[in-house]
Structure 1
Amino acid sequence: MAAGERSSSDPFAPFAESYDAWYSTPLGAYADRVEKALLRQALDPLPGEEFLEVGSGTGHQALWLAAQGVRVVGVEPSEAMRRVAEDKLARASAEIRERVRFLAGVGERLPFPEAEFSAVYAVTALEFVADPSAVVREMWRVLVPGGRLVVGAIAGEGAWGELYREKGRDPESVYHGARFYTEEELRALIRDLPGAGRPAVLRGLYVSPSVREPAGRVCLDELEAQAEGRERPGFLVLRVEKMR
Protein backbone atom coordinates (compact mmCIF):
# COMPACT_ATOMS: atom_id res chain seq x y z
CA MET A 1 0.00 0.00 0.00
CA ALA A 2 1.20 3.50 -0.66
CA ALA A 3 1.68 5.80 2.30
CA GLY A 4 3.25 8.93 0.89
CA GLU A 5 4.24 10.87 -2.14
CA ARG A 6 5.75 8.72 -4.88
CA SER A 7 4.99 10.41 -8.18
CA SER A 8 2.45 12.77 -9.72
CA SER A 9 0.63 9.86 -11.34
CA ASP A 10 -0.91 6.86 -9.55
CA PRO A 11 1.64 4.02 -9.82
CA PHE A 12 -0.76 1.63 -8.08
CA ALA A 13 -3.62 2.10 -10.56
CA PRO A 14 -2.67 -0.91 -12.75
CA PHE A 15 -2.58 -3.20 -9.71
CA ALA A 16 -5.44 -2.00 -7.52
CA GLU A 17 -8.16 -4.36 -8.75
CA SER A 18 -5.94 -7.45 -8.51
CA TYR A 19 -3.97 -6.50 -5.39
CA ASP A 20 -6.02 -8.67 -3.02
CA ALA A 21 -5.86 -11.77 -5.24
CA TRP A 22 -2.70 -12.80 -3.37
CA TYR A 23 -4.78 -13.49 -0.25
CA SER A 24 -6.80 -16.12 -2.13
CA THR A 25 -3.74 -18.29 -2.79
CA PRO A 26 -2.71 -20.91 -0.20
CA LEU A 27 0.59 -19.17 0.51
CA GLY A 28 -1.01 -15.74 0.55
CA ALA A 29 -3.73 -16.85 2.97
CA TYR A 30 -1.08 -18.39 5.20
CA ALA A 31 1.08 -15.26 5.15
CA ASP A 32 -1.98 -13.15 5.92
CA ARG A 33 -2.77 -15.22 9.01
CA VAL A 34 0.80 -14.97 10.26
CA GLU A 35 1.00 -11.22 9.67
CA LYS A 36 -2.35 -10.54 11.32
CA ALA A 37 -1.36 -12.60 14.35
CA LEU A 38 1.75 -10.42 14.77
CA LEU A 39 -0.18 -7.20 14.12
CA ARG A 40 -2.87 -8.12 16.62
CA GLN A 41 -0.23 -8.75 19.26
CA ALA A 42 1.46 -5.42 18.55
CA LEU A 43 -1.68 -3.31 18.21
CA ASP A 44 -3.56 -4.95 21.09
CA PRO A 45 -6.90 -3.58 19.82
CA LEU A 46 -9.70 -2.83 22.25
CA PRO A 47 -13.29 -2.24 21.12
CA GLY A 48 -14.09 1.44 20.79
CA GLU A 49 -10.52 2.62 20.20
CA GLU A 50 -9.81 4.77 17.17
CA PHE A 51 -6.87 3.78 14.98
CA LEU A 52 -5.21 5.48 12.05
CA GLU A 53 -3.81 3.42 9.19
CA VAL A 54 -1.25 5.21 7.04
CA GLY A 55 -1.23 3.73 3.55
CA SER A 56 -4.53 1.86 3.91
CA GLY A 57 -4.49 0.55 0.35
CA THR A 58 -7.45 -1.67 -0.44
CA GLY A 59 -8.68 -1.56 3.15
CA HIS A 60 -7.63 -5.11 3.96
CA GLN A 61 -6.28 -4.39 7.44
CA ALA A 62 -8.77 -1.64 8.29
CA LEU A 63 -11.80 -3.84 7.66
CA TRP A 64 -10.23 -6.68 9.64
CA LEU A 65 -9.69 -4.42 12.65
CA ALA A 66 -13.18 -2.94 12.36
CA ALA A 67 -14.58 -6.45 12.70
CA GLN A 68 -12.89 -6.53 16.12
CA GLY A 69 -14.71 -3.41 17.28
CA VAL A 70 -12.05 -0.81 16.47
CA ARG A 71 -12.81 2.41 14.61
CA VAL A 72 -10.31 2.96 11.80
CA VAL A 73 -9.46 5.94 9.64
CA GLY A 74 -7.44 4.97 6.58
CA VAL A 75 -5.30 7.49 4.70
CA GLU A 76 -4.24 6.49 1.18
CA PRO A 77 -2.80 8.59 -1.66
CA SER A 78 -3.72 6.18 -4.46
CA GLU A 79 -7.16 6.95 -5.82
CA ALA A 80 -7.39 3.52 -7.43
CA MET A 81 -6.60 1.72 -4.18
CA ARG A 82 -9.06 3.88 -2.26
CA ARG A 83 -11.76 3.07 -4.80
CA VAL A 84 -11.28 -0.66 -4.17
CA ALA A 85 -11.38 -0.04 -0.41
CA GLU A 86 -14.57 2.00 -0.69
CA ASP A 87 -16.22 -0.70 -2.80
CA LYS A 88 -15.36 -3.31 -0.17
CA LEU A 89 -16.65 -1.05 2.58
CA ALA A 90 -19.92 -0.52 0.72
CA ARG A 91 -20.47 -4.30 0.71
CA ALA A 92 -19.68 -4.67 4.41
CA SER A 93 -22.22 -4.78 7.21
CA ALA A 94 -23.74 -1.59 8.55
CA GLU A 95 -21.76 -2.05 11.76
CA ILE A 96 -18.47 -2.15 9.86
CA ARG A 97 -19.44 0.78 7.67
CA GLU A 98 -19.97 2.90 10.78
CA ARG A 99 -16.46 2.14 12.04
CA VAL A 100 -14.33 2.78 8.93
CA ARG A 101 -13.66 5.74 6.71
CA PHE A 102 -11.05 6.22 4.00
CA LEU A 103 -9.47 9.57 3.16
CA ALA A 104 -7.14 10.86 0.48
CA GLY A 105 -3.83 11.97 1.90
CA VAL A 106 -0.12 11.33 2.26
CA GLY A 107 1.83 10.18 5.27
CA GLU A 108 4.15 13.17 5.18
CA ARG A 109 1.24 15.56 5.90
CA LEU A 110 -1.49 13.82 7.84
CA PRO A 111 -4.70 15.90 7.98
CA PHE A 112 -5.23 15.55 11.74
CA PRO A 113 -4.38 17.49 14.91
CA GLU A 114 -1.85 16.25 17.43
CA ALA A 115 -2.69 13.38 19.77
CA GLU A 116 -5.76 12.17 17.88
CA PHE A 117 -5.45 8.34 17.75
CA SER A 118 -4.79 5.61 20.30
CA ALA A 119 -2.79 3.62 17.74
CA VAL A 120 -1.24 4.59 14.43
CA TYR A 121 0.00 1.86 12.13
CA ALA A 122 1.34 1.19 8.65
CA VAL A 123 1.57 -2.23 7.00
CA THR A 124 3.79 -2.77 3.94
CA ALA A 125 3.54 0.95 3.29
CA LEU A 126 6.87 2.51 4.22
CA GLU A 127 8.42 0.35 1.50
CA PHE A 128 6.91 2.71 -1.06
CA VAL A 129 7.68 6.18 0.32
CA ALA A 130 10.57 8.49 -0.48
CA ASP A 131 10.95 9.86 3.08
CA PRO A 132 9.94 7.19 5.62
CA SER A 133 11.33 9.23 8.53
CA ALA A 134 8.95 12.08 7.73
CA VAL A 135 6.02 9.67 7.64
CA VAL A 136 6.97 8.14 10.99
CA ARG A 137 7.29 11.59 12.57
CA GLU A 138 3.79 12.46 11.38
CA MET A 139 2.44 9.16 12.70
CA TRP A 140 4.03 10.00 16.05
CA ARG A 141 2.57 13.51 16.06
CA VAL A 142 -1.03 12.32 15.80
CA LEU A 143 -0.58 9.55 18.37
CA VAL A 144 -1.94 10.11 21.89
CA PRO A 145 0.42 9.79 24.87
CA GLY A 146 0.19 6.18 25.97
CA GLY A 147 -0.65 5.09 22.44
CA ARG A 148 1.32 2.75 20.23
CA LEU A 149 2.95 3.18 16.88
CA VAL A 150 3.18 -0.04 14.84
CA VAL A 151 4.97 -0.67 11.56
CA GLY A 152 4.64 -3.97 9.69
CA ALA A 153 7.20 -4.51 6.96
CA ILE A 154 8.55 -7.10 4.58
CA ALA A 155 11.91 -8.15 6.03
CA GLY A 156 14.79 -6.95 3.91
CA GLU A 157 16.99 -9.90 4.79
CA GLY A 158 16.08 -13.46 3.90
CA ALA A 159 14.13 -15.24 1.22
CA TRP A 160 11.05 -13.01 1.24
CA GLY A 161 13.07 -9.83 0.84
CA GLU A 162 15.02 -11.43 -1.99
CA LEU A 163 11.78 -12.48 -3.70
CA TYR A 164 10.33 -8.97 -3.67
CA ARG A 165 13.59 -7.36 -4.70
CA GLU A 166 13.66 -9.70 -7.68
CA LYS A 167 10.08 -8.75 -8.54
CA GLY A 168 11.10 -5.11 -8.29
CA ARG A 169 13.65 -5.48 -11.06
CA ASP A 170 10.73 -5.37 -13.46
CA PRO A 171 9.92 -1.69 -14.17
CA GLU A 172 6.25 -2.66 -14.50
CA SER A 173 6.11 -4.31 -11.06
CA VAL A 174 4.31 -2.69 -8.13
CA TYR A 175 7.54 -3.36 -6.20
CA HIS A 176 9.75 -1.43 -8.60
CA GLY A 177 11.61 1.15 -6.52
CA ALA A 178 10.38 -0.29 -3.22
CA ARG A 179 12.70 -0.49 -0.21
CA PHE A 180 12.82 -3.47 2.14
CA TYR A 181 14.03 -2.83 5.67
CA THR A 182 16.28 -4.74 7.99
CA GLU A 183 15.33 -4.86 11.65
CA GLU A 184 18.03 -2.32 12.48
CA GLU A 185 16.75 0.05 9.80
CA LEU A 186 13.25 -0.14 11.26
CA ARG A 187 14.58 0.59 14.72
CA ALA A 188 16.53 3.56 13.35
CA LEU A 189 13.30 5.14 12.08
CA ILE A 190 11.97 5.57 15.62
CA ARG A 191 15.26 6.18 17.43
CA ASP A 192 14.88 9.95 17.79
CA LEU A 193 11.16 10.16 18.44
CA PRO A 194 10.55 12.26 21.58
CA GLY A 195 9.09 10.31 24.46
CA ALA A 196 9.46 6.93 22.81
CA GLY A 197 9.46 3.89 25.04
CA ARG A 198 11.57 0.81 24.47
CA PRO A 199 10.70 -0.63 21.05
CA ALA A 200 9.84 -4.25 20.46
CA VAL A 201 10.14 -6.18 17.19
CA LEU A 202 7.97 -9.20 16.48
CA ARG A 203 9.14 -11.62 13.81
CA GLY A 204 7.28 -14.15 11.71
CA LEU A 205 6.70 -15.76 8.33
CA TYR A 206 9.59 -18.18 8.59
CA VAL A 207 8.08 -20.43 5.94
CA SER A 208 9.90 -20.13 2.63
CA PRO A 209 8.10 -18.32 -0.23
CA SER A 210 8.89 -21.39 -2.34
CA VAL A 211 6.38 -23.40 -0.28
CA ARG A 212 3.18 -23.19 -2.29
CA GLU A 213 0.82 -24.98 0.11
CA PRO A 214 1.91 -24.44 3.73
CA ALA A 215 0.12 -26.39 6.42
CA GLY A 216 -2.89 -24.74 7.96
CA ARG A 217 -1.64 -24.72 11.55
CA VAL A 218 0.19 -21.41 11.51
CA CYS A 219 1.78 -21.53 14.95
CA LEU A 220 3.18 -25.03 14.53
CA ASP A 221 4.66 -24.29 11.11
CA GLU A 222 6.14 -21.02 12.32
CA LEU A 223 7.66 -22.45 15.49
CA GLU A 224 9.15 -25.44 13.69
CA ALA A 225 10.68 -23.29 10.95
CA GLN A 226 12.10 -20.84 13.47
CA ALA A 227 13.54 -23.55 15.72
CA GLU A 228 15.20 -25.36 12.84
CA GLY A 229 16.67 -22.15 11.43
CA ARG A 230 15.40 -22.96 7.95
CA GLU A 231 14.64 -19.35 7.13
CA ARG A 232 15.04 -15.84 8.39
CA PRO A 233 11.73 -14.12 9.18
CA GLY A 234 9.89 -12.73 6.19
CA PHE A 235 7.83 -10.19 8.11
CA LEU A 236 8.75 -7.77 10.88
CA VAL A 237 6.44 -5.78 13.15
CA LEU A 238 7.89 -2.93 15.17
CA ARG A 239 5.94 -1.50 18.10
CA VAL A 240 6.82 1.50 20.24
CA GLU A 241 4.71 3.22 22.87
CA LYS A 242 4.50 6.99 23.29
CA MET A 243 5.21 7.67 26.92
CA ARG A 244 2.73 9.76 28.90
Structure 2
Amino acid sequence: MSTPFTGGAVAAARRYDAWFERRWGRYAWRLEATTVLAAAGPLAGRQVIDVGCGTGRLTALMAARGARVVGVDTDPAMLAVAATRVVGRLVRADAALLPLPDASVDAAVTVATLEFTTDPARVLAEMARVTRSGGRLVAAVLNPASPWGWAGRVRHHAPYQQGCFLPRDRLLELGRRHGTAQVRGVLFAAERLPFLPQLGPILETAGRLAPVLGAVQVLTVERGLPR
Protein backbone atom coordinates (compact mmCIF):
# COMPACT_ATOMS: atom_id res chain seq x y z
CA MET A 1 0.00 0.00 0.00
CA SER A 2 1.35 3.42 -0.95
CA THR A 3 1.79 6.01 1.79
CA PRO A 4 1.73 9.77 1.10
CA PHE A 5 5.52 9.75 1.41
CA THR A 6 6.31 6.78 -0.80
CA GLY A 7 3.67 7.72 -3.36
CA GLY A 8 2.65 11.33 -3.84
CA ALA A 9 5.55 13.05 -2.10
CA VAL A 10 8.27 11.19 -3.98
CA ALA A 11 6.38 11.63 -7.25
CA ALA A 12 6.27 15.38 -6.60
CA ALA A 13 10.00 15.40 -5.86
CA ARG A 14 10.64 13.60 -9.14
CA ARG A 15 8.52 16.12 -11.04
CA TYR A 16 10.56 18.90 -9.46
CA ASP A 17 13.77 17.12 -10.41
CA ALA A 18 12.58 16.61 -14.00
CA TRP A 19 12.62 20.40 -14.54
CA PHE A 20 16.41 20.24 -14.67
CA GLU A 21 16.18 17.98 -17.73
CA ARG A 22 14.12 20.47 -19.74
CA ARG A 23 15.73 22.87 -22.20
CA TRP A 24 15.69 25.92 -19.93
CA GLY A 25 16.34 23.88 -16.80
CA ARG A 26 19.49 22.33 -18.29
CA TYR A 27 20.76 25.72 -19.40
CA ALA A 28 20.04 27.51 -16.13
CA TRP A 29 21.38 24.68 -13.97
CA ARG A 30 24.60 24.41 -15.99
CA LEU A 31 25.34 28.10 -15.44
CA GLU A 32 24.36 28.07 -11.79
CA ALA A 33 26.23 24.86 -10.96
CA THR A 34 29.35 26.01 -12.82
CA THR A 35 29.38 29.28 -10.88
CA VAL A 36 28.77 27.61 -7.52
CA LEU A 37 31.46 24.97 -8.10
CA ALA A 38 33.96 27.65 -9.13
CA ALA A 39 33.11 29.63 -5.99
CA ALA A 40 33.59 26.53 -3.82
CA GLY A 41 37.14 26.08 -5.11
CA PRO A 42 39.13 22.82 -5.25
CA LEU A 43 37.07 19.99 -3.78
CA ALA A 44 39.18 16.85 -4.10
CA GLY A 45 39.70 15.28 -0.69
CA ARG A 46 37.78 18.02 1.10
CA GLN A 47 34.87 17.64 3.50
CA VAL A 48 31.80 19.54 2.26
CA ILE A 49 28.22 19.97 3.45
CA ASP A 50 25.43 20.65 0.94
CA VAL A 51 22.74 22.46 2.92
CA GLY A 52 19.26 22.04 1.47
CA CYS A 53 20.58 19.44 -0.96
CA GLY A 54 17.15 18.68 -2.43
CA THR A 55 17.35 15.92 -5.03
CA GLY A 56 21.13 15.81 -4.78
CA ARG A 57 22.22 17.20 -8.13
CA LEU A 58 24.88 19.52 -6.68
CA THR A 59 25.80 16.92 -4.05
CA ALA A 60 26.57 14.43 -6.81
CA LEU A 61 28.59 16.97 -8.80
CA MET A 62 30.76 17.80 -5.79
CA ALA A 63 31.27 14.11 -5.00
CA ALA A 64 32.33 13.53 -8.62
CA ARG A 65 35.03 16.16 -8.06
CA GLY A 66 36.43 14.17 -5.17
CA ALA A 67 34.73 15.85 -2.22
CA ARG A 68 33.46 13.92 0.78
CA VAL A 69 29.96 15.36 0.85
CA VAL A 70 27.19 15.28 3.41
CA GLY A 71 23.81 16.26 1.96
CA VAL A 72 21.26 17.75 4.36
CA ASP A 73 17.58 18.43 3.70
CA THR A 74 14.35 18.52 5.70
CA ASP A 75 12.28 16.81 3.00
CA PRO A 76 12.41 12.99 3.06
CA ALA A 77 10.96 12.75 -0.44
CA MET A 78 13.73 14.94 -1.86
CA LEU A 79 16.29 12.83 -0.01
CA ALA A 80 14.74 9.66 -1.45
CA VAL A 81 15.34 10.99 -4.95
CA ALA A 82 18.83 12.20 -3.97
CA ALA A 83 19.69 8.68 -2.81
CA THR A 84 19.28 7.44 -6.39
CA ARG A 85 22.22 9.58 -7.58
CA VAL A 86 24.34 10.27 -4.49
CA VAL A 87 26.79 7.76 -3.07
CA GLY A 88 27.45 9.15 0.37
CA ARG A 89 25.80 10.45 3.48
CA LEU A 90 22.36 12.03 3.24
CA VAL A 91 20.81 13.35 6.44
CA ARG A 92 17.34 14.64 7.23
CA ALA A 93 17.90 17.76 9.32
CA ASP A 94 17.03 21.43 9.64
CA ALA A 95 19.38 23.88 7.94
CA ALA A 96 19.22 26.04 11.07
CA LEU A 97 20.45 23.15 13.24
CA LEU A 98 23.06 21.25 11.26
CA PRO A 99 23.98 17.81 12.63
CA LEU A 100 27.75 18.37 12.48
CA PRO A 101 30.34 19.48 15.04
CA ASP A 102 31.97 22.89 14.99
CA ALA A 103 34.71 23.39 12.38
CA SER A 104 34.16 19.98 10.81
CA VAL A 105 33.99 20.83 7.08
CA ASP A 106 36.16 22.68 4.59
CA ALA A 107 33.23 24.19 2.73
CA ALA A 108 29.51 24.70 3.26
CA VAL A 109 27.40 25.18 0.16
CA THR A 110 23.72 25.95 -0.34
CA VAL A 111 21.60 26.64 -3.42
CA ALA A 112 18.06 28.09 -3.36
CA THR A 113 17.66 27.49 0.37
CA LEU A 114 18.32 30.73 2.29
CA GLU A 115 15.38 32.50 0.66
CA PHE A 116 12.99 29.71 1.70
CA THR A 117 13.94 29.60 5.38
CA THR A 118 12.39 31.60 8.19
CA ASP A 119 15.79 32.81 9.43
CA PRO A 120 18.46 33.00 6.69
CA ALA A 121 20.89 34.71 9.07
CA ARG A 122 20.76 31.72 11.41
CA VAL A 123 21.23 29.25 8.56
CA LEU A 124 24.30 31.12 7.33
CA ALA A 125 25.59 31.26 10.91
CA GLU A 126 25.18 27.49 11.17
CA MET A 127 27.08 27.02 7.94
CA ALA A 128 29.85 29.22 9.36
CA ARG A 129 29.85 27.27 12.63
CA VAL A 130 30.55 23.94 10.95
CA THR A 131 33.18 25.39 8.57
CA ARG A 132 36.83 25.46 9.57
CA SER A 133 38.88 28.66 9.64
CA GLY A 134 40.29 29.14 6.16
CA GLY A 135 37.27 27.39 4.67
CA ARG A 136 34.54 28.77 2.48
CA LEU A 137 30.80 29.40 2.48
CA VAL A 138 28.89 29.55 -0.80
CA ALA A 139 25.22 30.48 -1.04
CA ALA A 140 23.27 30.87 -4.29
CA VAL A 141 19.92 32.64 -4.01
CA LEU A 142 17.31 33.98 -6.41
CA ASN A 143 17.67 37.71 -7.01
CA PRO A 144 14.49 39.74 -6.33
CA ALA A 145 15.94 42.78 -8.14
CA SER A 146 16.50 40.95 -11.43
CA PRO A 147 14.08 41.09 -14.39
CA TRP A 148 13.20 37.48 -13.54
CA GLY A 149 12.41 38.40 -9.95
CA TRP A 150 10.19 41.27 -11.04
CA ALA A 151 8.38 39.16 -13.66
CA GLY A 152 7.96 36.29 -11.21
CA ARG A 153 6.23 38.52 -8.69
CA VAL A 154 3.98 40.10 -11.32
CA ARG A 155 2.99 36.69 -12.69
CA HIS A 156 2.62 35.20 -9.21
CA HIS A 157 5.08 32.39 -9.89
CA ALA A 158 5.27 30.15 -6.84
CA PRO A 159 8.95 30.60 -5.86
CA TYR A 160 8.64 34.38 -5.94
CA GLN A 161 5.45 34.29 -3.88
CA GLN A 162 6.76 31.90 -1.23
CA GLY A 163 10.32 33.05 -0.69
CA CYS A 164 11.76 35.70 1.62
CA PHE A 165 14.27 37.19 -0.76
CA LEU A 166 17.53 38.86 0.16
CA PRO A 167 18.62 42.03 -1.64
CA ARG A 168 22.28 42.10 -2.61
CA ASP A 169 23.22 44.51 0.21
CA ARG A 170 21.52 42.33 2.82
CA LEU A 171 23.20 39.20 1.46
CA LEU A 172 26.59 40.90 1.67
CA GLU A 173 25.89 42.13 5.19
CA LEU A 174 25.04 38.61 6.36
CA GLY A 175 28.13 37.20 4.67
CA ARG A 176 30.48 39.77 6.21
CA ARG A 177 29.50 38.58 9.66
CA HIS A 178 31.50 35.43 8.96
CA GLY A 179 34.44 36.53 6.84
CA THR A 180 35.42 38.31 3.64
CA ALA A 181 32.35 38.31 1.40
CA GLN A 182 31.56 39.02 -2.23
CA VAL A 183 28.47 38.56 -4.41
CA ARG A 184 28.35 37.96 -8.14
CA GLY A 185 25.40 37.64 -10.49
CA VAL A 186 24.72 34.82 -12.93
CA LEU A 187 22.02 33.88 -15.45
CA PHE A 188 21.12 36.75 -17.75
CA ALA A 189 19.57 34.96 -20.75
CA ALA A 190 15.79 34.84 -21.07
CA GLU A 191 13.87 31.58 -20.85
CA ARG A 192 11.99 32.09 -24.10
CA LEU A 193 14.92 33.02 -26.33
CA PRO A 194 14.35 31.22 -29.65
CA PHE A 195 18.09 30.68 -30.10
CA LEU A 196 19.13 30.02 -26.52
CA PRO A 197 22.31 28.01 -27.31
CA GLN A 198 23.58 30.78 -29.62
CA LEU A 199 22.43 33.94 -27.84
CA GLY A 200 22.67 32.75 -24.25
CA PRO A 201 26.49 32.91 -23.97
CA ILE A 202 26.51 36.40 -25.52
CA LEU A 203 24.00 37.66 -22.97
CA GLU A 204 25.86 35.97 -20.13
CA THR A 205 29.07 37.75 -21.16
CA ALA A 206 27.27 41.10 -21.46
CA GLY A 207 25.57 40.50 -18.12
CA ARG A 208 28.89 40.67 -16.29
CA LEU A 209 28.75 44.43 -16.87
CA ALA A 210 25.61 44.59 -14.71
CA PRO A 211 25.94 41.72 -12.22
CA VAL A 212 23.17 43.11 -9.98
CA LEU A 213 20.67 42.07 -12.68
CA GLY A 214 21.56 38.38 -12.61
CA ALA A 215 18.64 36.05 -11.87
CA VAL A 216 20.84 34.30 -9.31
CA GLN A 217 23.18 35.87 -6.75
CA VAL A 218 26.12 33.81 -5.53
CA LEU A 219 27.61 34.79 -2.17
CA THR A 220 31.13 33.60 -1.36
CA VAL A 221 32.56 34.02 2.14
CA GLU A 222 36.18 33.29 2.99
CA ARG A 223 36.41 32.22 6.62
CA GLY A 224 39.34 34.04 8.21
CA LEU A 225 42.24 32.20 9.76
CA PRO A 226 42.61 32.65 13.53
CA ARG A 227 44.96 35.45 14.53
Q: TM-score, normalised by structure 1?
A: 0.80
Residues 120-199 of structure 1: pairs in structure 2 closer than 5 A = 120-166=108-154, 169=156, 173=158, 176-193=161-178, 196=179, 198-199=180-181
Task: Supply the AA of the counterpart residue of 1:87.
Answer: T
Please give the per-residue CA displacement for 1:141-181, whole angstroms capped at 9, x wherever unaligned: 000010001101111112221244356x46xx466421222
* AA matched with 1:237: V
Task: Give the unaligned 5+ runs of structure 1.
Answer: 1-8, 90-96
Change (3 A) 1:177 1:192: same
CA distance in 2, matches of 1:77, 1:175: 20
Report the alpha carbon displacement of residue 190 of structure 1 after superposing the two structures with TM: 2.2
> The residue matched to 2:121 in structure 1 has which SS?
helix
SS at match of 1:157: coil
Match status 1:67 vs 2:67: no
- Report the counterpart of residue 80 of structure 1 in structure 2: 77
Between 124-133 and 202-211, report the one with greater CA deviation.
202-211
Kindly tell me: are residues 224 and 187 of structure 1, through their superposed partners in 2, closer, same or farther at Cα, counting changes over 3 Å?
A: closer
Contact preservation (8 Å) 1:15, 1:174: no
Tell whether the 8 Å contact from 1:26 to 1:213 is kept in structure 2 after alignment.
no
Offset at 1:106?
Answer: 0.5
Partners of 1:26 and 1:214 within 8 A in 2 = no
Partner of 1:240: 221
Point out the more displaced range, 149-158 or 177-186.
177-186
CA offsets per residue over residues 188-219 of structure 1, 9 Å max, x none?
222333xx1x2121211111233265116864
Give SS of 1:203's match. strand
Moved more, 25-34 or 141-150: 25-34
Q: Where does residue 208 of structure 1 map in the other structure?
A: 190
The 8 Å contact of residues 43 and 62 in structure 2, kept in 1 or not, is answered as no
Identity between Structure 1 and Structure 2 (%): 32
Q: In the alignment, is the contact (CA less than 8 A) between 1:150 and 1:239 conserved in 2? A: yes
Tell me, in whole angstroms, the C-alpha distance in 2 between the residues paired with 1:78 and 1:45.
Answer: 29
Provide the residue aligned with 1:4 in structure 2: none
Relative to total residues, which structure has the larger helix share, 1 or 2?
Answer: 2
- Shift of the 79–16 alpha-carbon distance from structure 1 to 2, 3 Å rule, reads same
1:159 and 1:234 in contact (8 A); partners too: yes
The change in CA–CA distance for 1:16 and 1:176 in structure 2 (over 3 A counts) is: farther
Contact 2:189 2:200 in 1 (8 A): no
User: What CA distance in whole angstroms lies between the structure 2 residues aligned with 1:50 and 1:26?
Assistant: 32
Q: How has the CA–CA distance of structure 1 residues 212 and 131 changed in structure 2, closer, same or farther, with 3 Å as cutoff?
A: farther
Which residue of the partner structure matches residue 6 of structure 1?
A: none
Query: The residue matched to 2:217 in structure 1 has which SS?
Result: strand
Q: 1:57 to 1:232 in 2, by over 3 A?
A: same
CA contact (8 A) 1:124 1:154 kept: yes
Out of 29, 32, 48, the position equivalent to 1:51 is: 48
Q: Distance in 2 between matches of 1:81 and 1:103?
A: 11
The letter for the 2-side match of 1:80 is: A
The amino acid of 1:222's aligned partner reads: E
- Correspondence for 1:94: none
Structure 2 CA distance for aligned equivalents of residues 238 and 77 of structure 1: 22
